[in-house]
Amino acid sequence: MAGAAPVAVRYDPAITQTQIIFAYYSNGGRCSMQRGWLAVILLLISVCESKADTTWVQGGYTLGMWTAEHSPYMVMGDIFIWEGPLTIEPGVTVIVTGAYKIQVSSAGCLYAVGTATDSIRFTTDTLTNPDRWRGLVQFNSRDTIKFEYCTIENARADGIFPDDLSGGAVYVHYDVNMRFRHCLIRNNEAAHHGGGVYAENGNLLFDQCIFSGNTAGGEGGGAFIGPAASMRFTRCTFAGNRAAEGGGVANWAGQLCLNSTIIAFNDGAGLWCSTTSAVNLPELHSCGFYDNTGGPFEGPIIGTWGDLDSINFMHDSCDAFGDIFLDPRFVDRTAGDFHLLSMSPCINAGDTSLPRDADGTYTDIGAFPFNIPAGPTHVAGGSISGLWTPRGNPYRIEGNVTVAAADSLRINPGVIVDFAGPYSFTIHGKLLARGTETEYVRFTTDTLVNPDRWRGLRFVHADSASRMEYCIVESGRAVGTDTASWGGGIYCENTSCHFTHCLIQYNSAFRGGGAYLYGGSLVFDGCDFWANGGGLGGGLYLDNAIAQLISCRIFFNHVGMNGAGIAMTSSAAELQFTVVSKNCNFYSTQNSAAISCSSSAVTLIHCTVAANNAFPQSQGGVGMYLQRSVADINSSIFAFNTGSALQFFNSSLGQVRYSDFYGQVLAEGNPPIGLGLLTGHNVNADSCDNYFNILLDPLLVDLVWRDFHLQPTSPCIHAGDPALPHDPDETVADMGAFSCNRPYALLEPFDLLMPCNGDTVTDTNRVCFFWRRSLDADRGDTVTYTLYLRSGNFTWTFPTFSDTFDTVDLSGLVLDLTEPLVWWVTAHSHRPDTYLESAQHFSVCLIGAGAAVRENNLPRVFALYESSPNPFNAVTAIHFDVPRASRVKLVVYDVLGREATVLRDGLTNAGTHRVLFDAGALPSGVYFCRMTAEDFSAVKKLLLVK
């Protein structure tokens, strides 16, 4: 075909129903139409409408433009796009009538760009053409081939040559760039590999494409990537494909990237890989795998793929790459509708680095983003489920709503749920209301327009996976009889769920103004209960429930009976790092403004209970009232409460330890024996009882403005239970809800004094070793010392406790007289357990008892040396040499020439000598030491610094 000319088109406007393209070759000869055209015409019934004529394409070389006006195009032979582009406009249908292919050569190019409303379709009628067509074949092209809003279907790769057996819809042999956007590749087949797409070379990009119902006899039902090929799938869907291996995608050592793509319901594993070498390692980013026969992965895979050890943006479990393994919840996959239902876990779960979807939310996983209509959203009442995002704000609740047991509702950051009347929000299924630190989810009402308020969130046998994070629940009111009057903001019945960083405020109920908990096990982490009110349990009421409160704040709640902060009946609660403050019990002489316990067990660790009140002043424990209950109070602060801090009523069991009580009566009733009797001292040397409790002002930063941190001089610092985990500054736990960042003081460097470096001692002498004191600024900490001596191969240790000297009888040691005796000291501090070596290691000369000093060891001249240390504080050592027995005078003068002290005045034997100058009684300044002997005179400058 080297001499062939392009296809020429003859168009007769008079022909209104059909148009026929004839192929003219260079000799001008005219091809006859293929026989069987009548059967082909019958195919047009389903595709020809009054607006379109039919164009018959005999086969051969073609270029130019195919338009919707002349669609459908009936392909009756192999098409070759040999030179120049073929452009297919939106709305065109290409019907291939037999086992023909559309092939693009190196000089040709194909642009098939449809629109969302006018797509392009490549197909065949499988009834009249059961052998199907042979797909799009790309051998090479200098330009980028583009397919947008195209359907490529019902093709089959089959034949006698290897190149004919793979790539049902698309086959790429040589290097080429291809772009597919919003394309549907479905119901294609390949005898070998790549039922939908096969590429052994080239660079192919797919964005928001669907691969469905494709089949391969070998690998890659949807797509196959060969060793020299690169494919990137972004926001695509592979569903219902089939292959021996890799029903969704098969990667044979090529470059593969899957981003925000669904691979689900495929037969033959979702993703098959031939190798996990670093060069050909597939990239996975926030994909969804589900119900693939053979599992999500097959072949050599990365060990962390599928390990659900992380949480994605929607707080679903995912692997380290953001991949989830949940039902994508298609609208109707059996009918080929792969849109997402509103409760799909794929919504907002895609790669957050991709552009946001049209509704302004994070990208969804899969080819069809779920579009949330713009608000306001009117919710008339009844069952609710799916996803609520800020785009639908505000969600106006205009009737009682319920999340049914089998349903779930996800609420994204920034959503406002506004109640138009006294309606309830009941959860039997799963509620995932997750805001962020800057975008809360708010459940509220306008109390001016709706003075009767709303009826709160009511979790009744709800799914234990329910979560609320960074939510505000406000202005709820529980009204009615029995349970209807319990739990103004939140009511939980036989429900175990988790609340994190939630603000529960301005709610009211007879029991549990902020929250009422019956049965179940609940966790409140970083939550605030603020200005809620009721008869019992202004902030929370626990009834046969288990609750854990971590880093919570319970402020300004009020009741008319008891438990303004927390009330408990037959329950168990653990409070950690929690503040209960400024809660008030009005109009009652009953018990507790802060915490009230009846037949319950309560644990307080690192809590602060302060400035709670009762009017008139309660006879019970304003801080905590215990009736037939057990309390474990550890490393906590009770301060400035009106009335007693603790009231024990038939509650003698329990522990109160390592805590601070100040500014109120400590305890009434039958407290533990000895509680508050100061009989000892704690590690800070403060007076304490037998349980290490202290009665000192905790020195809170600002009680008025609710800053419960500790001032740096607080006696609560480092005074908590040493068995608890250390504070962030790695010190022993502080008391109270907030630790103070005051690391332990380091040991200060210290010097050795005597015997000095170079001194001579006798091996039978009792030698006294002196050193300076090392200081530790921590209150109550004690510095101890250990003296070390080393001679030859032996080292001896002598603990001295807090003394700064020790006398050692050298006669008891095995000394090597041929080497010097080395000595040094270590200082030890016990909070934390650290040590510091002295600044020097001194060496002294050893001589045996009665040994004569050899003359050649004597100094030859008089000499006065620099003192050590210098500058000095209080004591320094002065060394001098005497070559022969002489009278030596050593005097210290101040800067005015006045004599400060005489260190030596008398006959001195030959040798090297040392004297100590103790200037403890002298002021800081400059001094001079003058030595005279015979006709020798010398002066050294000394600097005393105190």
Q: Are residues 876 and 840 in the same domain?
A: no
- Cα 726 to Cα 762: distance, rounded to the nearest angstrom: 50
Q: Are residues 255 and 189 in the same domain?
A: yes
Q: Are residues 863 and 840 in the same domain?
A: no
Cα R_g (the chain), whole angstroms: 45
Q: Are residues 229 and 132 in the same domain?
A: yes
The distance of Cα 737 from the centroid of its chain, to the nearest Å, equals 23
Q: Within a domain: residue 71? A: yes
Alpha carbon separation from 366 to 151, 252, 459 (Å, rounded): 17, 24, 33
- Cα 820 to Cα 756: distance, rounded to the nearest angstrom: 12
User: Dihedral sign, CA of 719, 724, 727, 730?
Assistant: positive
**pLDDT for 572 beyond 50:** yes
Q: Within a domain: residue 212? A: yes
- Cα 706 to Cα 271: distance, rounded to the nearest angstrom: 56
How many domains does the structure of the chain reveal?
3
Bridge partners of 87, per DSSP, are: 65, 111
Closest CA to 254 of 227, 231, 292: 227
Say whether 146 sits in a helix, a strand or coil: strand
CATH number reported for the structural domain that contains residue 871 in this entry: 2.60.40.1930
How high is the pLDDT of residue 853?
Answer: 42
| Angle made by CA atoms 231, 235, 241, in degrees to the nearest 5 | 70
Write the pLDDT tens digit of every residue in 407-451.
999 999 999 999 999 999 999 999 999 999 999 999 999 999 999
Average pLDDT value over all residues in the chain: 88
- Cα 128 to Cα 172: distance, rounded to the nearest angstrom: 28
For residue 859, cis peptide bond before it (omega within 30 degrees of 0): no
| Angle made by CA atoms 52, 56, 62, in degrees to the nearest 5 | 110
Out of 793, 816, 847, a domain closes at 847
Pairing assessment for the beta strands 805-809 and 102-113 based on DSSP bridges = unpaired
Closest CA to 779 of 842, 687, 895: 687
Q: Within a domain: residue 641? A: no
Write the pLDDT tens digit of every residue in 24-37.
222 233 333 333 34
| Angle made by CA atoms 286, 236, 309, in degrees to the nearest 5 | 15
Say whether 700 sits in a helix, a strand or coil: strand
- Cα 778 to Cα 245: distance, rounded to the nearest angstrom: 69
Q: Any idea what DSSP says for residue 42? A: H
914 or 238, which is more confident: 238
Q: Are residues 795 and 876 in the same domain?
A: no
Closest CA to 922 of 946, 903, 939: 946
Write the pLDDT tens digit of every residue in 177-190.
999 999 999 999 99
Q: Are residues 833 and 880 in the same domain?
A: no
Write the pLDDT tens digit of every residue in 383-396.
999 989 898 999 99
Alpha carbon separation from 530 to 182, 554, 559, 595, 597 (Å, rounded): 51, 6, 13, 15, 20
**pLDDT for 67 beyond 50:** yes
Residue numbers of the domain that contains 892: 857-944
Write the pLDDT tens digit of every residue in 627-670.
999 999 999 999 999 888 998 888 767 899 999 999 998 988 88
- Cα 109 to Cα 138: distance, rounded to the nearest angstrom: 9
pTM (two decimals): 0.68
Written as six digits, the tokens of 227 are 């060793």
Q: Locate tokens 């120049």: which residue?
A: 84
Q: Are residues 810 and 890 in the same domain?
A: no
Q: Locate tokens 């349903």: which residue?
A: 407
Write the pLDDT tens digit of every residue in 141-180.
667 899 999 999 999 999 888 888 999 999 998 888 999 9
Q: Within a domain: residue 349? A: no
Write the pLDDT tens digit of every residue in 696-721.
999 999 988 889 999 999 999 999 99
pLDDT band at 304 (very low <50, low <70, confident <90, very high): confident
Q: Within a domain: residue 322? A: no
Reported in sequence order, the residue ranges of 149-259 that DSSP labels E, i.e. its strands, are: 150-153, 156-157, 170-172, 177-181, 184-186, 189-190, 197-207, 210-212, 215-219, 223-234, 237-239, 242-245, 249-251, 255-259
Q: Are residues 861 and 809 in the same domain?
A: no
CATH number reported for the structural domain that contains residue 811 in this entry: 2.60.40.10
Q: Are residues 212 and 123 in the same domain?
A: yes
Pairing assessment for the beta strands 215-219 and 189-190 based on DSSP bridges = parallel
Q: Within a domain: residue 878? A: yes
Out of 237, 271, 288, a domain closes at 288
Whether the CB-CB separation of 580 and 607 falls below 8 Å is answered with: yes
3-state percent helix, strand, coil for the chain, nearest multiple of 5: 5, 45, 50
Q: Any idea what DSSP says for residue 850? A: T
- Cα 650 to Cα 645: distance, rounded to the nearest angstrom: 16
Out of 820, 847, 874, a domain closes at 847
Q: Within a domain: residue 685? A: no
Say whether 132 sits in a helix, a strand or coil: coil
Whether the CB-CB separation of 667 and 646 falls below 8 Å is answered with: yes
Alpha carbon separation from 423 to 386, 399, 449 (Å, rounded): 20, 6, 14
Q: Are residues 835 and 876 in the same domain?
A: no
165 or 561, which is more confident: 165
- Cα 635 to Cα 661: distance, rounded to the nearest angstrom: 11
**pLDDT for 831 beyond 50:** yes
Q: Within a domain: residue 741? A: no
How high is the pLDDT of residue 591?
Answer: 64
Written as six digits, the tokens of 308 are 């659900």
Mean pLDDT, residues 665-678 taken together: 91
pLDDT band at 815 (very low <50, low <70, confident <90, very high): confident
- Measured from the Cβ of residue 649, the count of other Cβ atoms closer than 10 Å reads 18
Closest CA to 807 of 765, 867, 846: 765
Q: Are residues 760 and 824 in the same domain?
A: yes
DSSP 789-835: EEETTEEEEEEEET-SEEEEEGGGS---TTSPEEEEEEEEEETTEEE
Q: Are residues 822 and 875 in the same domain?
A: no
